[in-house]
Structure 1
């Protein structure tokens, strides 16, 4: 079936037999075949007469739904008329969380494009891999972040247009928008037309392309929010995750707009700024990682956060002490959850009625889960094993049948996490089942870090593992074999760390560096990281 004029993404979907079993089974999860998700998330609010309602706030700006609608329409005109967008083209967004980011996101879908949202910390090397892998043809970039974007050289990338995400000036996109109509006829996509591609780090070091349909975007809005949040149009959402993470996209854009609420965006969301916004703008729902909840607890008494009614944590497991300290300080219960880029958002969580402290929770509406062994057989309660999930959304890696078959087995998504289930059906996190390092909510591939470190002129060999850390959950720890072992010193450590932050995303840099004469290896030369992990934990 031809979904778009540029059918690259659909042509590289996994075969139907390799995809997870998806089911609905409830009227809330049924959507029409002809579907552009923007109409449900944005356009309907105008049609229903709510255009003057606040959609997005920042400390400096305030946009109504009508503002967002009109700007998205103007950007869609720019895409088609000035940038030559063909439906199905992949369009990258490079920006911190701000209103123009959101307007670009909606505009791409309105025009029939496929969104590739990225984080502002990514560097030229990482952006280049994305452009090459997804054959990205167009990009929107905040002018404050254009240096790394303009360094990307690829025959696929035809045009980059800058915008001013601060709202204080005018860049090229704003100039073009001013000449465009404020109405636009949305591309007539299908419910199973691809809407977004999300890149996720993998243990092989090569990022994987996850993909999701237009209906998937709406399906997750019917799942976690209704199960755990019970949103109303009066809610104000806030959070720290970048919109380049599906955790942030759901919590800060999809969920508030689906329910006609508003969102508060902060480009650099420090704990103090989060608390300031909650106090001053009467925020009601907050999404962030356990690391941030720990710091927010320490500062909460200095602010009036009485408006806050729902607190959501994901990205890494929530320590019981963090939950207890926040509850004792505020009287609010943090809702823990686990999701994945492959499944799009949270699939196991809780609400205030069924919460069990320390447990991740129960499968939310729309999903089911079980614990399985290496052969896919369900394990008895209390036995740790692989977490398997299926439901309304599932993994669809583009152009990667090998990884697809690893993630989806017997119709179930195998997340790479080790869990156990108790006799009441609650799921408890045990450990990660691979070499991913989860630090302050960021997924960091050990192999990706190694691939950067090995390019340093002083490094002969390296191996990277996760080091347990009270504040961040884990930190990146690098074991280095130097070409000249006599160079090992604190000054070199700092120099390597500073260099790393210049050539790759800073959040991936090794906070711990240990110098060794040799790395433990098998007879075939494979590095035995488990021995390094045991050394770290000893």
Structure 2
């Protein structure tokens, strides 16, 4: 159901709680604030099909603004707060946004963004921007007369060039009509009105945003972390008796590297399920999470494009370790480099056939690159076993060809990240005159003082004990922090640029 139903039936129930500040909104307050947002959008002259851009840090107004756009028939584009002014400006311009909302803390970026018709700053003043809170307070909290269903248009994280706006048709029908995701999470994870959902990631990303909105459709409570911290995450589970959460594998790694007595210090018995996706999870990491929390770790594989969806329960995973499950949306097809279908057990590019169509805003050529007679691809490599379970190998763009042998760096990363002195790791191919490419690891040590030749030798030996030598790094560099997106995706392009000569431009 739409949150307006819960505002009528359970008006005093918490809908949103900010973990750091404790600020909260009841369902009645969420309904009022989203109505004020819708009224503001109409007062600015926005009508069904127009686009707004949201460049906000996690805050109490984030979800009400999205609900306000949803009930106004608008397209809302949520933008990463980690982008430069040039990167964010590209999205603002490409999306055709007529209204922009920015956190005052991002004033340095905001000043250099393209001009739009209506600009608002939240949490402080930015020259040339109206104060969002005052503008909302000036609006009535009643529903607009011409409600219709809007939707998000989110941009890919841009790991290989400019990001792409992922768009579909605006939904027809009333604003409270059922949608596929809401039904799916109810079936897979037992979402319901009694749930308490902990969201530790930035809301501008597809999964945190869409799952939080789905929780509101069920009438549950969303706890939003301003920023992920592994021990504080555990404390919040105990404090609010959290039932569900969604994380990325790097968060699992950070929790597992807490001292055992620290992890044992918190009561996590309220948990019914932790969902993870966004990046492949090392088998050993997931085994340790299940050993710790029990069979409560659920996984799915999809993308913002939504062309396909697989899911696996913890019980299934224990019998199919490393799998991301069977397809629930779209038929999985594995293709070789020439576009030929491959049988079970053979690695190739993963396509989903028969799922929802993929369309990129203002980019028909990019749409054509990922779609064809076999459906759509997210750019990942993997295989399907005889029982129909999908296993991911890596992204096609990350593959290393060393001496004519294909090396998928994910396997090497999965080994190295479990070393007790490693906080994070990326494995890439770098130029080698004889082999074409050689395997290199860039490691973020847990303690920077450990970085150096001794740790390099220790990690190379550690990898060679567990992998064939062709998959092991020949050398290791150290970095205080890897360029990783908050969703867990690694910007390997930025790392590769350090080692590969720039190609001359025409």
- Cα contact 2:52–2:97 (8 A) shared by 1: yes
Aligned-pair CA distance for 1:391: 5.2
Matching of residue 245 in structure 1 with residue 208 in structure 2: no
Residue of structure 2 in register with 1:123 after alignment: 84
Aligned to 2:46: 85
Q: Which of 233, 255, 259 does residue 218 from structure 2 map onto? A: 259
**Cα distance change on mapping 1:351 and 1:513 into 2, 3 Å:** closer
Q: Is the Cα contact below 8 Å between 1:476 and 1:508 reproduced in 2?
A: no
Query: What's the counterpart of residue 286 of structure 2?
Result: 323
Provide the rounded CA distance (Å) in 2 between the counterparts of 1:401 and 1:110: 29
Matched, 1:428 2:391: yes
Question: 1:234 Cα shift?
Answer: 0.9
Indicate yes or no: 2:163 matched with 1:207.
Answer: yes
Q: How does 1:460-475 map to 2 (within 5 A)?
A: 468=413, 470=417, 471-472=423-424, 474=426
Residue 398 of structure 2 contacts residue 428 of structure 2 at CA under 8 Å; is this kept in 1?
Answer: no
Relative to structure 1, the CA distance from residue 477 to residue 198 in structure 2 (aligned partners, 3 Å threshold; closer, same or farther) is farther
Find the partner of 1:180 among 139, 164, 180.
139
**How big is the shift at 1:511?**
8.5
Evaluate the alpha carbon distance shift between residue 420 and residue 508 of structure 1 in structure 2; reply closer, same or farther with a 3 A threshold: closer
Deviation, structure 1 residue 384 = 0.7
Provide the C-alpha distance between the structure 1 equivalents of 2:502 and 2:142, rounded to a whole number of angstroms. 63
Residue 301 of structure 2 is aligned to residue 338 of structure 1: yes
Deviations 1:400-431 (A, max 9, x none): 11111121111611121111011111101111
For 1:407 and 1:197, how far apart are their aligned partners in 2? 18
In structure 2, what is the equivalent of residue 235 of structure 1? 195
Pairing 1:26-105 to 2, within 5 Å after superposition: 40-47=1-8, 49-59=9-19, 60-81=22-43, 83-105=44-66
For the residues of structure 1 that align with 2:23 and 2:64, how far apart are their CA atoms?
14
Q: Conserved in 2, the CA contact under 8 Å of 1:127 and 1:152?
A: yes
Change (3 A) 1:255 1:352: farther
- Farther-moved stretch of structure 1 (348-357 vs 49-58): 348-357
Query: CA 1:214–1:64 in structure 2 vs 1: closer, same or farther (change >3 Å)?
Result: farther
For residues 436 and 118 of structure 1, the distance between their equivalents in structure 2, rounded to whole angstroms, comes to 29
Query: Residues 303, 477 of structure 1: CA spacing in aligned structure 2 closer, same or farther, 3 A cutoff?
Result: farther
**Structure 2 residue 182 is matched with structure 1 residue 221:** yes
Q: Secondary structure at the match of 2:135?
A: helix
Distance change >3 Å, CA 76–CA 237, structure 1 → 2:
same
The total of aligned residue pairs comes to 421
**Among residues 257, 263, 268, which one is paired with 2:227 in the alignment?**
268
Q: 2: distance between equivalents of 1:410 and 1:322?
A: 37
Q: Are 1:358 and 2:314 an aligned pair?
A: no
Q: Distance in 1 between matches of 2:399 and 2:25?
A: 38
**Contact 1:367/1:389 (8 A) holds in 2:** yes
CA 1:65/1:278 → structure 2, altered by over 3 Å: closer, same or farther? Answer: same
Change (3 A) 1:507 1:416: closer
Offset, 1:109: 2.3
Deviation track 1:83-105 (CA, whole Å, cap 9, x = no partner) reads: 33233221011112222011111
For normalisation by structure 1, the TM-score amounts to 0.70
Q: Kindly indicate whether the alpha-carbon contact (under 8 Å) linking 2:72 and 2:148 is maintained by their aligned counterparts in 1.
A: no
Q: Is structure 2 residue 378 aligned with structure 1 residue 415? A: yes
Match of 1:536 in 2: none
Contact 1:358 1:428 (C-alpha < 8 Å) held by counterparts: yes
User: Do 1:219 and 1:392's aligned partners in 2 also have CA atoms closer than 8 Å?
Assistant: no
Measure the CA separation in 2 of the matches of 1:397 and 1:152. Answer: 22
Unpaired runs of 5+ residues, structure 2, are 125-129, 173-177, 401-408, 418-422, 432-450, 452-476
Match of 1:21 in 2: none
- Secondary structure of the structure 2 residue equivalent to 1:434: helix
Maintained 8 Å contact 1:118/1:243 = no
Are the structure 2 counterparts of residues 508 and 352 from structure 1 closer, same or farther at C-alpha, using a change threshold of 3 Å?
closer
Q: Could you say what secondary structure the match of 1:212 adopts?
A: coil
Counterparts of 1:124-523 in structure 2, within 5 Å, are 124-154=85-115, 157-164=116-123, 172-185=131-144, 187-189=146-148, 195-202=151-158, 205-215=161-171, 218-223=179-184, 225-251=185-211, 253-299=212-258, 300-343=263-306, 347-355=309-317, 356-364=320-328, 366-374=329-337, 376-390=339-353, 393-410=356-373, 412-435=375-398, 468=413, 470=417, 471-472=423-424, 474=426, 519=501
* CA distance in structure 2 between the aligned counterparts of 1:250 and 1:230, rounded to whole angstroms: 16
SS at match of 1:115: strand
**1:50 positional shift:** 2.3
1:46 offset after TM fit, Å? Answer: 2.9
Partners of 1:271 and 1:120 in 2: how far apart?
21
Cα RMSD (Å) of the superposition?
Answer: 3.4
TM superposition shift of 1:295: 1.6
Relative contact order (C-alpha < 8 Å, sep 6+): which is higher?
1
Looking at structure 2, the residues matched to 303 and 391 of structure 1 have their Cα atoms a distance apart, in angstroms, of 45
